[in-house]
């Protein structure tokens, strides 16, 4: 079975056609800078059997990115019919209280997914929109939703509970849910395989640092026990347009002074804050890094971002009683040696030390950048959420 995997970030869309169960990659692509303000144009990097085609174009939203991807895929499928996909699997961020594991999308399931928009207002409406695009374009093809929260079902009660009235928490199912679970699980398993250790016996801190969303996860003995994101993806790190951790009192104050509705406040915190809110010129931390040597605002933005990541790495090292493995992944975690060095700077007291030369010379693949005398292995690992999504979808689709 060939499965087309669609993986939406807040400003990106990754797609991949995988032959399952072998996991053979047939086609892959990524649309970057989708529907956001940046200094550069949107671009799609499209690969078929390893050959790249790079297209610059205007992508106002994710449906436009998907349709552009479909056009590129259609060219390849027209030449090789064996590349055609037979099912579509979607990364779906937040299932609300409706689902805990992968589900085949029926009309009934889709109606429930439509009710989940408030839980992840940046991602869920986008993913739902792509489900609609696929249903209209390929009405006979099965679709599955694979949830970003499933890996975090074991977050400890002491970390998942918020300090609010039990009656309110129970009525609205308010607790820390955690996100990027597909990525955190994938890189944690890959890390253990790479260094020859059992996933069920390791203490791991995983830093998924993307140009859209970012989170840090604490994994103990194969289970996620804490994640920097919370009831929604808004909690935690400073991200491209999300504020991350903030005093709720500041939100109430602004709403009172500006007479903002809850919808207006949500738009500010989810779509106009974070890197974009502080730097203003761009929401992409890569633009910040390029400018910070001469721009004080860029320097401040970068320092704020790094400080948040370091805070969570230290907290999780504390609750794990020192980590066996520290992982950096995704577009920033894998793509920026400067960021990795900044996060690990002066972390010797936590048993974490990075090798500057190994880190600076990283290019691709899984690489160990651990410094001398470091008690924690520091690894750079490309995430492959699409592979994990395809595995989960395949298991669901072939169930009898």
Residues noted as catalytic = 148
Q: Residue 158 falls within a domain, yes or no?
A: no
Do 132 and 188 fall into the same domain? no
CA atoms within 13 A on the CB side of 112: 14
Asked if 316 contacts 307 with a C-beta cutoff of 8 angstroms, the reply is no
Structure tokens at 400: 């009898």
186 and 257 fall within a common domain: yes
Q: Which CATH number is 103's domain given? A: 3.30.420.40
Tell whether 143 is covered by a domain. yes
Residues 252 and 317 in one domain: yes
Given a cut of 90, whether residue 96 has pLDDT beyond it is no
Last residue within a domain, chosen from 121, 147, 173? 147
Task: Please return the burial class of 140, using the count of CB atoms within 10 Å of its CB with bins 0-12, 13-18 and 19+.
Answer: exposed
Residue 368 has pLDDT above 60, yes or no: yes
95: in domain: yes
- Tell me the pLDDT tens digit for each residue of 297-337: 999 999 999 999 999 999 999 999 999 999 999 999 999 99
| Whether residue 120 sits in one domain with residue 235 | no
* Residue 173 belongs to some domain of the structure: no
**Angstrom distance (rounded) from CA 353 to CA 369:** 9
Domain boundary among 147, 170, 204: 147
User: Can you list the pairs that 57-60 forms with residues at least 24 positions away whose Cβ atoms lie under 8 Å?
Assistant: 59/31, 59/33, 59/34, 59/35, 60/35
The CA distance from 371 to 374, in Å, is 6
Is the same domain home to 95 and 232?
no
Which pLDDT does position 50 carry in this prediction? 81
Whether 223 and 369 share a structural domain? yes
**197, 188 Cβ separation under 8 angstroms:** no
**Residue 140 falls within a domain, yes or no?**
yes
**128 belongs to a structural domain:** yes
Q: Express each pLDDT in 210-231 by its tens digit.
A: 988 999 999 999 999 999 999 9
Bridge partners of 205, per DSSP, are 218, 326
Cis ω for the linkage preceding 256 (within 30 of 0): no
What pTM did the predictor assign? 0.87
Q: Is the pLDDT of residue 39 over 80?
A: no
Closest by alpha carbon to 92, among 189, 219, 179, 18? 179
7 and 80, same structural domain?
Answer: yes
Q: Same structural domain for residues 207 and 261?
A: yes
Is 217 inside a domain boundary?
Answer: yes
In terms of domains, do 213 and 286 share one?
yes
- What's the pLDDT at 399? 80
pLDDT of residue 374: 97
Is the backbone of residue 316 left (phi > 0), alpha (psi -120 to 50) or beta? alpha
Q: Which domain holds residue 238?
A: 181-380
The domain tally of the chain equals 2
Strands 377-380 and 325-329: parallel
pLDDT tier for residue 131 given thresholds of 50, 70 and 90: very high
- Same-domain pairing of 134 and 27: yes
Indicate whether 239 and 366 sit together in one domain.
yes
Phi and psi of 370, rounded to 5°?
-65, 135
Examine the pLDDT at 400 and tell me if it is beyond 60: no
Same domain, 99 and 241: no
Rounded mean pLDDT, 105-109: 96
Domain assignment present for residue 204? The answer is yes
């Amino acid at each position: 079975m060939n499965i087309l995997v669609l993986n939406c970030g807040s400003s990106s869309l990754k797609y991949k056609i995988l032959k399952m169960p072998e996991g053979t990659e047939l086609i892959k692509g990524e649309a970057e800078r989708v529907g956001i303000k940046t200094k550069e144009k949107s671009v799609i990097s499209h690969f078929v059997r390893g050959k790249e085609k790079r297209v610059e174009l205007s992508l106002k939203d994710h449906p436009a990115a998907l349709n552009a991807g479909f056009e590129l895929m259609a060219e390849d499928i027209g030449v090789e019919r064996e590349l055609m996909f037979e099912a579509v699997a979607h990364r779906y961020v937040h299932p609300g209280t409706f689902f805990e594991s992968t589900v085949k999308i029926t009309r009934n399931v889709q109606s429930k997914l439509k009710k989940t928009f408030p839980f992840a207002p940046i991602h869920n409406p986008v993913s739902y929109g792509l489900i609609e695009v696929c249903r209209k374009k390929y009405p006979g093809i099965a679709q599955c939703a694979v949830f970003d929260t499933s890996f975090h079902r074991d977050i400890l009660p002491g970390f998942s509970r918020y300090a609010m009235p039990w009656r309110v928490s129970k009525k609205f199912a308010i607790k820390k849910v955690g996100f990027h679970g597909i990525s955190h699980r994938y890189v944690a398993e890959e890390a253990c395989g790479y260094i020859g250790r059992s996933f069920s016996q390791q203490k791991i801190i995983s830093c998924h640092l993307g140009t859209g969303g970012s989170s840090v996860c604490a994994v103990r003995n194969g289970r996620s026990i804490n994640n920097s994101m919370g009831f929604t993806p808004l909690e935690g790190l400073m991200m491209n347009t999300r504020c991350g951790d903030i005093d709720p009192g500041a939100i109430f104050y602004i709403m009172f002074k500006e007479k903002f509705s809850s919808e207006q406040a949500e738009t500010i915190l989810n779509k106009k804050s974070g890197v974009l809110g502080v730097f203003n010129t761009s929401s992409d931390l890569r633009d910040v890094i390029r400018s910070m040597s001469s721009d004080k605002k860029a320097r401040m933005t970068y320092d704020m971002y790094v400080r948040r990541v370091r805070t969570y790495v230290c907290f999780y090292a504390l609750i794990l009683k020192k980590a066996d493995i520290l992982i950096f992944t995704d577009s920033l975690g894998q793509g920026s040696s400067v960021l990795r060095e900044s996060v690990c700077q002066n972390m010797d007291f936590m048993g974490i030390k990075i090798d500057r030369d190994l880190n600076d010379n990283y290019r691709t693949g899984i690489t160990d950048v651990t410094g001398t005398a470091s008690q924690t292995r520091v690894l750079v690992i490309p995430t492959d959420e699409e592979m994990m999504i395809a595995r989960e979808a395949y298991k669901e689709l072939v169930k009898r």
